């Protein structure tokens, strides 16, 4: 008997799955009492944003059984990873917020799980919220299972109620039955999820579903051994996706204990392991015993839907704030990223820049943010959707969009999405708020977040997931309507100059900020760009004004995150990214050259 259970934990962003895994680890005694508990989300960006970006493997021992848990990303940009993880497990914990209920990404990850025919357990989390409505949420989940075509066995799912934050759990929706334990959940896992099937004595079949990379051993393939056994030092054969074979020796093999990756010597069918030894091992290839090659079905890797250029920083401030500046350094870093991220594609665009294709804005902005923190300076262009030709017709990606918004703002949102070619599929009143469901071209969502936050005064919630490629909507979709204020001088911005420009629009900079010609310093109230002087000082004269000078009181400038900046820029603009922050700029910095280029475009 193999005392193993392989499960994945899936949920919408922020429904508490990572916290739940942390609590299960603690309850199962994976950590010593005096040990510092490192959260599953160990990457600095994951901690800050409260999202899981990379799938993680962990394991706990409970009642003599090893439970391997794969924590999956909930965001649609990392869809491919969720799908491939389903190939490694026999069951899933579907975590749903006791108040929010099923959300777009709940639907998305559950669809992947049901297609893979894995056994589900539903965990209703955040049961301690005053607004929790567990019974209605379980009904919503049941409706979603039926809608996604679950079979009879899948519909017979057990439900566990938890508060991951409090570390409590029970099998009853009544809050008074919650006890400080994870026992009911762990017991349900052992009773519901079957052991991995796979004959230990058969010939080897192992398929990497995820990749990792480190500087010592190179590329690492992570997957589940479908059958047979593997030993460090033995020769194995890799069946490539193109049908060729490549023999190599397993140099290192890692298993998982708690959150640690530990070196192991042997592993058997059902074990989730990471192996090193083949420098270009790829997702979906099959590792077999030499002479007994038998390929497993290939795994689907999601195609990129967005592209943008990453280039050397050419602004007048280049080299001031970062230490990694050259084309060679940027190329090395992007190549390294493609070693472990199978959804990323990088090609040379011109001598100074690269075309980077990814799964979505979040996917690409996380890469930019990581590079920025590592000391890189670069300039990036507006993300563009990738147009594909399908059956001789040009097609573009479309998304499912769900919006929850206060009833006061519904009209504004509907009007804005109409202009972006969104198609309203459903409108549901939920008391004080309304839920709108749309199908919309991905192009229509680029730049929408900023507008959406303005319309809803920051209170709206939007979620979207990739749906399919459909014929191109033949119109300009998603360009920013407002013009910008562009600096015409180099120097430091003065309060005097900014004060005089306040009625022209919204500023992005403060007095004392350094600016250069061609840098975008604010948003114009009208739809045209204007060049402004933000470094002008006040003329000093001997005559004093009859009213004494008033101190200039300026409105607060608009602060932009990286995603908002990428959303905001138009095609003739760039975001300059440095370890210190972001600046928006025109591609052509000199005003007269920009004018010439615009005139050429018009004729």
Q: What is the tens place of the pLDDT at every residue in 36-86?
A: 444 444 445 544 544 444 456 788 888 889 999 887 775 556 666 777 888
Lowest-pLDDT range of 71-75, 308-312, 523-527: 71-75
pLDDT at residue 486 greater than cutoff 80 = yes
Q: 85 and 78 in contact (C-beta within 8 Å)?
A: no
Pair 142, 102: CB distance under 8 Å: no
Domains in the chain (CATH in brackets) are 4-192 (3.40.50.300), 205-288 (2.40.30.10), 388-471 (3.30.70.240), 484-602 (2.40.50.250)
pLDDT in tens, 548-557: 445 667 888 8
User: Is the pLDDT assigned to residue 509 strictly greater than 90?
Assistant: yes
**Bridge-based pairing state of the strands 245-249 and 235-239:** antiparallel
Mean predicted lDDT score pLDDT of the chain: 85
Give 346's strand partners: 356
Structural contact between residues 154 and 165, judged by C-beta atoms closer than 8 angstroms? no
Element (H, E) at 332: helix 327-340
Write down the H helix ranges in 60-103: 79-86
Q: 515 in helix, strand or coil?
A: strand
Q: How confident is the model at residue 400 (pLDDT cuts 50, 70, 90)?
A: confident
pLDDT, tens digit (0-9, with 9 covering 90-100), for 152-178: 888 999 999 999 889 999 999 988 898
How confident is residue 540, by pLDDT bands cut at 50, 70 and 90?
A: low
Q: What percent of the chain has pLDDT over 90?
A: 41
Q: Please determine, for residue 539, whether its predicted confidence score (pLDDT) is greater than 80.
A: no
């Amino acid at each position: 008997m193999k005392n193993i259970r392989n499960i994945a934990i899936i949920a919408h962003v922020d429904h508490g799955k990572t916290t739940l895994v942390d609590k299960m680890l603690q309850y199962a005694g994976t950590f010593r009492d005096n040990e510092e508990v490192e959260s599953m989300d160990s990457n600095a960006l994951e901690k800050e944003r409260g999202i899981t970006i990379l799938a993680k493997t962990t394991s706990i021992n409970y009642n003599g059984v090893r439970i391997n848990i794969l924590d999956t990303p909930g965001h649609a940009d990392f869809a491919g990873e969720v799908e491939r993880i389903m190939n490694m497990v026999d069951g899933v914990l579907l975590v749903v917020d006791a108040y929010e209920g099923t959300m777009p990404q709940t639907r998305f990850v559950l669809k992947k799980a049901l297609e893979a025919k894995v056994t589900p357990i539903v965990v209703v989390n955040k049961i301690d919220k005053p607004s929790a409505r567990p019974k209605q949420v379980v009904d919503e989940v049941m409706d979603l299972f039926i809608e996604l075509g679950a079979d009879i066995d899948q519909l017979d799912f057990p439900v566990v109620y938890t508060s991951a934050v409090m570390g409590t759990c029970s099998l009853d929706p009544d809050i008074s039955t919650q006890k400080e334990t994870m026992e009911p959940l762990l017991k349900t896992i052992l009773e519901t999820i079957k052991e991995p099937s796979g004959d230990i004595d058969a010939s080897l079949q192992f398929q990497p579903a995820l990749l990792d990379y480190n500087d010592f051993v190179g590329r690492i393939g992570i997957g589940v051994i479908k059958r047979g056994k593997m030993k460090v030092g033995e020769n194995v054969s890799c069946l490539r996706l193109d049908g060729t074979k490549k023999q190599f020796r397993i140099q290192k093999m890692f298993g998982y204990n708690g959150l640690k990756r530990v070196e192991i010597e042997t592993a058997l069918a059902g074990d989730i392991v990471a192996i090193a030894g083949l420098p270009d091992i790829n997702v979906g290839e099959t590792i077999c015993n030499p002479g007994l090659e038998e390929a497993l079905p290939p795994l689907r890797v999601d195609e990129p839907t967005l592209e943008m250029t990453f280039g050397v920083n050419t602004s007048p401030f280049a080299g001031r704030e970062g230490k990694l500046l050259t084309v060679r350094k940027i190329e090395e870093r992007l190549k390294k990223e493609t070693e472990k991220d199978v959804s990323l594609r990088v090609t040379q665009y011109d001598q100074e820049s690269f075309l980077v294709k990814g799964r979505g804005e979040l996917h690409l902005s996380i890469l930019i943010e990581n590079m920025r923190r590592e000391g890189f300076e670069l300039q990036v262009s507006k993300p563009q959707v990738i147009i594909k030709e399908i059956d001789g017709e040009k097609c573009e990606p479309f998304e499912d969009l769900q919006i929850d918004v206060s009833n006061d703002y519904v009209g504004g949102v509907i009007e804005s999405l109409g202009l972006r070619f969104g198609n309203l599929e459903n409108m549901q009143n939920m008391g004080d708020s309304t839920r709108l469901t749309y199908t919309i071209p991905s192009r229509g969502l680029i730049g929408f977040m900023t507008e959406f936050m303005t319309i809803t005064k920051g209170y709206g919630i939007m979620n979207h997931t990739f749906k399919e490629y459909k014929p191109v909507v033949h119109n300009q979709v998603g360009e920013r309507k407002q013009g910008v204020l562009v600096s015409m001088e180099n120097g430091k911005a003065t309060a005097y100059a900014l004060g005089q420009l306040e009625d022209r629009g919204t500023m992005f900079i403060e007095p004392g900020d350094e600016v250069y010609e061609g840098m975008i310093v604010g948003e114009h109230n009208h739809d045209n760009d204007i060049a402004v002087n933000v470094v002008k000082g006040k003329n000093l004269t001997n005559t004093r004004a009859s009213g004494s000078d008033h101190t200039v009181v300026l409105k607060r400038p608009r602060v932009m995150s990286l995603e908002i900046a990428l959303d905001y820029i138009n095609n003739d603009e760039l975001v300059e990214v440095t370890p210190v922050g972001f600046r928006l700029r025109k591609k052509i910095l000199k005003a007269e050259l920009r004018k010439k280029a615009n005139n050429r475009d018009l004729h």
